Amino acid sequence: MDSVDLDVLKRSRLWLAEGRRVLLVTVVRTWGSSPRPVGAMLAIRDDGIVAGSVSGGCIEDDLIDGVRKAGIAYGAPACLSYGIDADQAHRFGLPCGGTIELVAEALSAASRIGELLGMITGGALVRRVLCMESGRVTLEPADSGAMLRFDGKRLESVHGPRYRLLVIGGGQLSRYLCQMALGLDFQVTVCDPRSEYMDEWNLPGVTLVRTMPDDTVDAMQPDPCSAVLAVTHDPKLDDLALMQALRTPAFYVGALGSRKNNHARRERLRLFDVSEEELRRLRGPVGIFIGSKTPAEIAISIMAEIVAVRNGIVIPQIWGVDGAKSARAAGSAQNFTEGCAVRRA
């Protein structure tokens, strides 16, 4: 599963190879609430077919209508604004007084979309610099902290996975996790030295590693844009890797397992001199409580938690698996007591 932005770029490359004209539209500024964030992209083919989005649909409709009526003319990129006044804001589904600013660029071979995709699929994070006067494009390496910049003369957009996810364990759950993580723009690595789990792995876009997980964590050197998730249930594989990961600035370190297993894991890690401060960083049981039972549902639960943490959301304890199950058990006990009291009355 490709991320939304990667899909836009791939579709653009395909349409250009077919000899079609393509308009690439990028959100560069927003004021007030907006349906899509800065950096969101929309590709419009010359017949009105689209990939991606820049709003809830109304702005897309206007852009498509313009392409169908006037076509796509090669020339300098243009800056477009929507929602300047209350009437226009209402028409395009923006909050009153809100504004969204876009850059519209007619793509060609000089746009270097193919080169950009090659760099991204190779794992690179790339800054694409578009000159608004000439349409000239340059590509250069970017760091994980790079952000979109637009000053009216240059549009600097950042492409590629800026976040990394290391999954320890190659079972069925990992496949669902990896598919979702790829769609959420993570660079994904699966580590499992067990051949019975890895020999049949064939998920495109995922890097497979067969070294011991703690060695993999050391080699990966997790940074604040990294997440480490252990799902094997095997302490020999999970524990040492978690110990190493908890000593890094990774934004998320978690392990699959029941509340009982999570307690036992923490006790084992204490024997390895993992500090209480480091243990507080360990998330487990992982996931937001949604009553998940199947591997796909569990993967949704876990990825929801990872994305929330990535986005700086403080997750209430009651949302977690441990907190929700404890609250539900307490509620059930209270209901049972109250029911008995009613029956006795």
Residue 326 resides in a domain? no
Residue 270 resides in a domain? yes
Q: How confident is the model at residue 336 (pLDDT cuts 50, 70, 90)?
A: very low
Q: Which residue type is seen at 25?
A: V
Instruction: Please tell me whether residues 129 and 206 are part of one structural domain.
Output: no
Q: What is the pLDDT of residues 193-249, one digit of tens each?
A: 988 888 878 888 899 999 999 999 999 999 999 999 999 989 999 999 999 999 999
- Give the helix ranges, DSSP H, for 51-184: 58-70, 86-91, 113-121, 172-183
Instruction: Please tell me whether residues 67 and 200 are part of one structural domain.
Output: no
Range of the domain at 118: 4-159
Instruction: Please tell me whether residues 109 and 19 are part of one structural domain.
Output: yes
Higher pLDDT, 240 or 322: 240
Give the pLDDT confidence score for residue 345 in this predicted structure: 44
Give the pLDDT confidence score for residue 2 in this predicted structure: 59
Q: How far apart are CA 334 and CA 337, in angstroms?
A: 5
Q: What is the pLDDT of residues 48-100, one digit of tens each?
A: 999 999 987 788 999 999 999 999 999 999 999 887 555 665 566 555 456 88
Instruction: Please tell me whether residues 237 and 155 are part of one structural domain.
Output: no
Higher pLDDT, 343 or 20: 20
Residue 337 resides in a domain? no
Instruction: Please tell me whether residues 137 and 210 are part of one structural domain.
Output: no
Q: 38, exposed or middle or buried, with CB in 10 Å at 0-12, 13-18, 19+? A: middle
Q: How confident is the model at residue 34 (pLDDT cuts 50, 70, 90)?
A: low
Q: What is the mean pLDDT of the chain?
A: 88
Which residue, 159, 191, 218, sits at the end of a domain? 159
- Give the helix ranges, DSSP H, for 158-211: 172-183, 195-198
Q: How far apart are CA 140 and CA 124, in angstroms?
A: 10
Instruction: Please tell me whether residues 56 and 109 are part of one structural domain.
Output: yes
Give the pLDDT confidence score for residue 228 in this predicted structure: 98
For 81, the 3-state DSSP assignment is strand
Which residue, 159, 192, 223, sits at the end of a domain? 159
Q: What is the CATH number of the domain that holds 245?
A: 3.40.50.720
pTM of the model: 0.76
Instruction: Please tell me whether residues 121 and 254 are part of one structural domain.
Output: no
Residue 26 resides in a domain? yes
Strands 78-82 and 154-159: unpaired
Residues 232, 236, 242, 244: what is their CA dihedral angle, to the nearest 10 degrees? Answer: -140
Report the pLDDT averaged over residues 295-314: 95
Residue 103 resides in a domain? yes
Percent of residues, the chain, with pLDDT higher than 90 = 65
Which residue, 124, 159, 194, sits at the end of a domain? 159
Instruction: Please tell me whether residues 140 and 38 are part of one structural domain.
Output: yes
Count how many domains the chain has. 2
Residue 320 resides in a domain? no
